[in-house]
Amino acid sequence: MYTVCYFFRKHVFSVVFYWNIYEGLCITLQVLVVANPANTNALILKEFAPSIPEKNISCLTRLDHNRALGQISERLGVQVSDVKNVIIWGNHSSTQYPDVNHATVTTPAGEKAVRELVADDAWYVTNTVSYDK
């Protein structure tokens, strides 16, 4: 419990400190959270800096999301912008999990489920997220 309390006290203080510095820039400020747990830290920032638009807060997991989109689009021979609804669960680490269960791709024949076009679970784990320590 002490570690968790210390973690939150330490990170909430940092968020509040920097928030006070950048408060006037909220409309154009874009934040990339890089310290793990990046997802949690991004959520803390969102809660303590409500004037920063939600769409302007991202975290390192976005890198993994973009990588997964790129790998899927390359495999299917479509543009990255044609791949939708890929989810990366977890933080930027070796425990993250690419989820394509809801992913779709726009093809000349219409929108199709990614799972329908690539029915290979091992490929998803091996190719959509290759975390480098």
Domains, the chain, in order of start with CATH, read: 2-59 (no CATH), 61-128 (3.90.110.10)
The pTM of this model reads: 0.66
Of the residues 11, 65, 92, 102, only one is catalytic, namely: 92
92 among known catalytic residues:
yes
Secondary structure (DSSP) of the chain: -HHHHHHHHHHHHHHHHHHHHHGGGTTT--EEE-SSSHHHHHHHHHHH-TTS-GGGEEETHHHHHHHHHHHHHHHHTS-GGGEE--EEES-SSTT-EEE-TT-EEEETTEEEEHHHH---HHHIIIII-----
User: What's residue 25's pLDDT?
Assistant: 58
What is the per-residue pLDDT across 72-127, written as a single tens digit (0 to 9) for each?
999 999 999 999 999 888 877 777 888 889 999 998 889 999 999 998 877 877 77
